[in-house]
Structure 1
């Protein structure tokens, strides 16, 4: 679209340029804010969520413990992207202003100087080209990311927890679902699809794991969401997690904001009205080097993974003792 915009500006086709510069932000909002796929859906790729169920009473609560199992190989990371995103917004605004200025000048029988048109159009193209390199060129030329922090450690926690859950009594009241989510790296589409399936169910809570094992301290995410929509975690789940941590470790979990342009699968559940909270390792500024060969197993702190398993097992036990502890509606 932006290459077509530059070509239209170079030829003085301001009407076409205006249309293109207006439709690009609309597509970006549809794709990233509302998770529709008018462009990316033209090349569909199917991935699967994997769900393991430890059934409880039919009328009992359901606790979903989830982590995404996919990773990506790209140039840059969430800190790099956060620096470029405002420039993308500025570029879109300049593209629209240039197109409308050209139409206005032509109405009065004048033309914008060609050098001005090409200079502004070139600037507009730069951030879109940079983002294309960040997201698309990595898999072609870089060593694949092992995905240890993002998000192998969290997946390992759920697999270890599965061993614990097999020891629960057969009449345990809480249904526990271990969900390994696909497509988190593609706008969190896997969790969005799964959350849509949960939306009508009652007494459901979701604990999402992200970058667990990156440090020796665990926290819950204070706020997450989209560019135009922000959500806070469920009060009842935050209370349950904090009290369980207080009982086990002598102090409650701290609250932390997501660094940079990072998002998690937690936003999919919160946006659809499902009680949820995301747990992640505390790391000032966020761990760097994700989506690259630097995201290797030696960066994982295994004791922290085991501590997280213990915490989740204790949360399940608390819900089994008091099924009404999860107030989600």
Structure 2
């Protein structure tokens, strides 16, 4: 598997958060441009791109999807997703152009890998950000609800959420109340977060990642009501009964420019992001292998 390069990741982030910038239903032309960019990247990688569309506030919105069918267990699905919209007033470099950039690198690697046992899907979700977060207007809610209605057997869902900020200074990491007693105070790690029902998937995913990458990892299975635990598209899959987890740099608990106009491409650590994307690509391939899931 070819490792992800920092420059490819930087180019993807700059295309989304620089050239396009703020992208949401309140800036429909930019949102459409972002969707077109996602589709173009995937087509260039050799994928056939599908779209699930719905209308919100008079704007046609799209979840975009590509898939590689499994050979021996095609009905079992490993799904990796990232939202491509940004919050109002922000170009959204870390949140979440970094997640989309990593998604591109993972899909690129999987397109060039041997055929998986399980089906692997990559999905770029729309409308994760407020005012639609936690509502049925989230793109991931629309997707997960349709998946459940079809009877899709999603065995693992990984939400890539804000992956570009890392810092090794003391006290560069914050946490929800009381958790700081148990976890590192340096923000130099990648976090894997799940609810209690998804803890088997969490443990397996972290074990596979650690076998394939030396990037520091922290993981926790916690109640969804704890601040930060449900703050991405994995929530929509929990609500449909699917095992899911969030992979993140912890966003607002580390990154001072979260949801601001200063969330720009120049503030991210692309060398670290490349290591993260490479480790995740290898982990996703392992999850899709015959013995990948518990």
Instruction: Answer with 1 or 2: which has the greater Rg.
Output: 1
Aligned partner of 2:133 in structure 1 is 187
Structure 2 residues not aligned, in runs of 5+: 1-54, 167-187
Partner of residue 70, structure 1? 85
- Which SS does the other structure have where 1:205 is aligned? strand
> Which of 200, 206, 211 lines up with 1:236 in the alignment?
200
Residue pair 1:148, 1:295 contacting (<8 A) in 2 also: yes
**Does structure 2 retain, via aligned residues, the 8 Å contact 1:219–1:256?**
no
Q: Determine if contact 1:221/1:233 at 8 Å carries over to the other structure.
A: no
CA distance in 1 between partners of 2:264 and 2:217 (Å): 29
1:196 and 2:145 correspond = yes
Distance 1:64 1:292 in 2: 29
Rounded to whole Å, the distance in 2 between the matches of 1:285 and 1:151 is 15
- Deviation track 1:31-82 (CA, whole Å, cap 9, x = no partner) reads xxxxxxxxxx9944331001111222273321110000000224xxxxxxxx
TM-superposition CA deviations, 1:293-317 (whole Å, max 9, x none): 2000112111222122222222233
TM-score when normalising by structure 2: 0.62
Rounded Cα–Cα distance in structure 1 between residues aligned with 2:271 and 2:108: 17
Structure having the higher strand fraction is 2
2:122 equivalent to 1:178? yes
Aligned length: 207
CA spacing shift, 1:311–1:250, aligned 2, 3 Å:
closer
Distance 2:73 2:198 in 1: 21
Question: Structure 1 residues 320, 284: closer, same or farther in 2, change over 3 A?
Answer: closer
Give per-residue Cα distances to partners, 1:184-235, cap 9 Å, x unaligned: 012251000111122222253100011111224101124xxxxxxxx43612
Q: CA deviation at 1:172?
A: 2.5
Match of 1:9 in 2: none
SS at match of 2:88: coil
Aligned CA distance change for structure 1 residues 210 and 256 (closer, same or farther; 3 Å): farther
2:64 aligns to what?
A: 50
Paired with 1:232 and 1:150, the residues of 2 have a C-alpha distance of: 25
Aligned to 2:189, which of 206, 217, 236? 217
In angstroms, what is the RMSD of aligned CA positions?
A: 2.7
User: Separation in 2 of the partners of 1:256 and 1:152?
Assistant: 26
Query: Which residue in the other structure is 1:161 paired with?
Result: 106
Question: CA contact under 8 A between 2:189 and 2:217: conserved in structure 1?
Answer: no
Separation in structure 2 between the aligned mates of residue 155 and residue 174 of structure 1, nearest angstrom: 22
How much does 1:288 deviate? 3.1
CA contact (8 A) 1:217 1:282 kept: no
Q: 1:243 to 1:273 in 2, by over 3 A?
A: same
SS at the partner of 2:220? strand
Following superposition, the deviation at residue 322 of structure 1 comes to 2.5
- Residues 260 and 42 from structure 1, CA distance in 2 versus in 1: closer, same or farther, beyond 3 angstroms? closer
Q: Is the 8 A contact 1:66 1:208 kept in 2?
A: yes
1:211–1:47: structure 2 CA closer, same or farther, 3 Å change rule?
Answer: same
Whether 1:246 and 2:195 are equivalent positions in the alignment is no
Gaps of 5+ in 1: 1-40, 75-144, 223-230
Q: Is the 8 A contact 1:51 1:179 kept in 2?
A: yes
Matched, 1:299 2:253: no
